[in-house]
């Protein structure tokens, strides 16, 4: 994910035949949809999570804030910026409506993703790679080679930049995948930049501060596909994690499964039609010098219905040094983190498994 170069030839998914991949990879590398399609009616042991990871502490009482963006430009701006700031500080997560991405653009983006995961496994395996640096890959779990227990998730993950270079590498089936993705990516990228201006302002920084720091920003898309699961209470679609990047903009279908850790409770993020879920990643926690947090979240699965979500990870360019904004550092609030180049941050994270805040902790300055 961190790389701007294509993976080395030996790992380049485009240069391996189906047979080579079959021989090279264990059967569970083919994904959970494939497992279900082949008649598996029980949960294989490798998907069973240790009890402490599954522990259910749900709160149905609370909801993440819902912010209407229709008045963000104009007289209502300062109130909206304040609401966004409060949501960032209190939750690290919020929903937005009237966000400028049209209903049809959202629906089409969902549809082509769903159609992709319903293609025969052989078709999806054309894009399979275990190389987390690959700019376009289909895979399963999180890091299937390293994960101690597997996650009940298949995914398709790809870079959007530079667009002209990336589009020909995206799946050619379904036939309108590339067209619909190009449309969605433009719209969601515009929204990300608008939200980052508001977030800058909410921190008391110049409106374009974060966008300027991000420079030639990075944008990755990830479709997450969670088939109905035989024993959902024993596994997870995605275990608790924080997102490493800047801002994540997530579209989820009407099934539900996303949970956010808030005051030691897993709060359910109920699907609300035509909204997007926005959350702050590690690079905003660092830049805001811990004023805003990159909050842990996870995806649970269920036994009735498959679920799909589409995450956009919008962040700094890989070569950008991310450090606390100097305006937010002073003698009463000293810098909490040392700076780190975003690409290096991702390298340390992705060579391991998807886990908590270890990389962030390494960047902590000694405050004693
Ligand atoms: C992610 C993620 C949650 C979901 O893709 O990073 O947290 O509900 N997804 O799919
Ligand atoms: Ni996430």
- pLDDT, tens digit, 9 for 90 and up, residues 137-185: 999 998 888 888 999 999 999 999 999 999 999 999 999 999 999 999 9
The whole-number average pLDDT for the span 227-255 is 96
pLDDT for 4 equals: 41
The whole-number average pLDDT for the span 252-266 is 95
Neighbours of 235 (CB within 10 A): 25
User: Which domains are present in the chain?
Assistant: 24-320 (2.60.120.330)
- Pull the structure tokens for residue 251: 């579209």
Residue whose CA is closest, atom 6 of ligand 1?
243
**Nearest ligand to residue 299 Cα:** 1
Residues with CB under 6 A from ligand 1: 222, 224, 238, 243, 250, 252, 257-258, 297, 299, 309, 311
pLDDT above 80 (res 124)? yes
Q: Cα(152) to centroid of ligand 2, in Å?
A: 14
Contact 272, 309 (CB under 8 A): no
Cis bond before residue 198 (omega within 30° of 0): no
- Regarding predicted confidence, which is higher, 143 or 276? 276
pLDDT digits (tens, 9 = 90+) for 326-365: 999 999 999 999 999 999 999 888 765 545 457 788 888 8
Any idea which of 43-52, 113-122, 222-231, 325-334 has the lowest mean pLDDT?
Answer: 43-52
Q: Cα(224) to centroid of ligand 1, in Å?
A: 7
pLDDT for 145 equals: 82
Q: Cα(239) to centroid of ligand 2, in Å?
A: 9
* pLDDT band (50, 70, 90) for residue 248: very high
Q: Cα(166) to centroid of ligand 1, in Å?
A: 23
pLDDT above 80 (res 118)? yes
| The residue count for the chain | 368
Q: Where are the alpha helices (DSSP H) in the chain?
A: 18-24, 32-37, 51-54, 77-90, 103-117, 121-125, 163-166, 177-202, 209-214, 282-287, 342-350, 358-362
Residue whose CA is closest, atom 10 of ligand 1?
309
Any idea which of 2-11, 226-235, 326-335 has the lowest mean pLDDT?
Answer: 2-11
245: exposed, middle or buried (Cβ count in 10 Å: 0-12, 13-18, 19+): buried
Q: Cα(368) to centroid of ligand 2, in Å?
A: 32
Q: Which of 153, 223, 244, 250 to mutate to test the pocket of ligand 1 (most atoms within 8 A of CB)?
A: 250
**Nearest ligand to residue 282 Cα:** 2
Q: Cα(309) to centroid of ligand 1, in Å?
A: 7
Task: Look over the chain and give the mean of its residue pLDDT values, rounded to a whole number.
Answer: 91
Whether the pTM exceeds 0.75: the reply is yes
Report which ligand 1 atom has the smallest distance to the Cα of 222: 5
Q: Cα(76) to centroid of ligand 2, in Å?
A: 30
Residue whose CA is closest, atom 8 of ligand 1?
258
Q: How far is residue 272's CA from residue 96's CA, in Å, rounded to a whole number?
A: 10
Residue whose CA is closest, atom 1 of ligand 1?
311
Any idea which of 125-129, 196-200, 352-356, 358-362 has the lowest mean pLDDT?
Answer: 352-356
């Amino acid at each position: 994910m961190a790389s701007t170069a294509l993976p080395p030839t030996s790992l380049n998914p485009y240069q391996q035949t189906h047979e080579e991949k079959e021989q090279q990879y264990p059967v569970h590398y083919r994904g959970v949809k494939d497992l279900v399609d082949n008649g598996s009616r029980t949960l294989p042991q490798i998907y069973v999570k240790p009890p402490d990871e599954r522990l259910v502490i749900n709160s149905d009482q609370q909801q993440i804030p819902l912010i209407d963006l229709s008045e963000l430009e104009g007289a209502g701006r300062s109130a909206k910026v304040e609401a966004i700031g409060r949501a960032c500080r209190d939750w690290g997560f919020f929903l937005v409506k009237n966000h400028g991405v049209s209903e049809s653009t959202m629906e089409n983006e969902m549809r082509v993703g769903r159609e992709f995961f319903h293609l025969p496994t052989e078709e999806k395996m054309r894009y399979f790679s275990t190389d987390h640096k690959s700019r376009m890959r289909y895979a399963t779990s999180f890091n299937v080679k390293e994960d101690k227990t597997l996650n009940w998730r298949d995914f398709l993950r790809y870079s959007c930049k530079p667009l002209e270079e990336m589009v020909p590498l995206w799946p050619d089936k379904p036939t309108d995948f590339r067209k619909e993705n190009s449309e969605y990516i433009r719209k969601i990228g515009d929204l990300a930049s608008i939200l980052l201006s508001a977030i800058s302002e909410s921190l008391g920084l110049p409106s374009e501060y974060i966008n300027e720091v991000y420079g030639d920003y990075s944008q990755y898309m990830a479709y997450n596909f969670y088939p109905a699961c035989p024993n959902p209470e024993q596994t997870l679609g995605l275990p608790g994690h924080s997102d490493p990047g800047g801002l994540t903009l997530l579209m989820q279908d009407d099934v539900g499964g996303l949970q956010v850790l808030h005051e030691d409770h897993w709060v359910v993020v109920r699907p609300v039609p035509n909204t997007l879920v926005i959350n702050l990643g590690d690079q905003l926690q660092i830049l805001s010098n811990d004023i805003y947090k990159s909050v842990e979240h996870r995806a649970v699965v269920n036994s009735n219905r498959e679920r799909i979500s589409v995450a956009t990870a919008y962040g700094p360019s890989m070569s950008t040094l991310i450090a606390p904004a100097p305006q937010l550092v002073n003698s009463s609030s000293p810098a909490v983190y040392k700076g780190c180049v975003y690409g290096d941050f991702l390298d340390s994270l992705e060579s391991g498994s998807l886990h908590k805040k270890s990389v962030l902790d390494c960047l902590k300055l000694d405050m004693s």
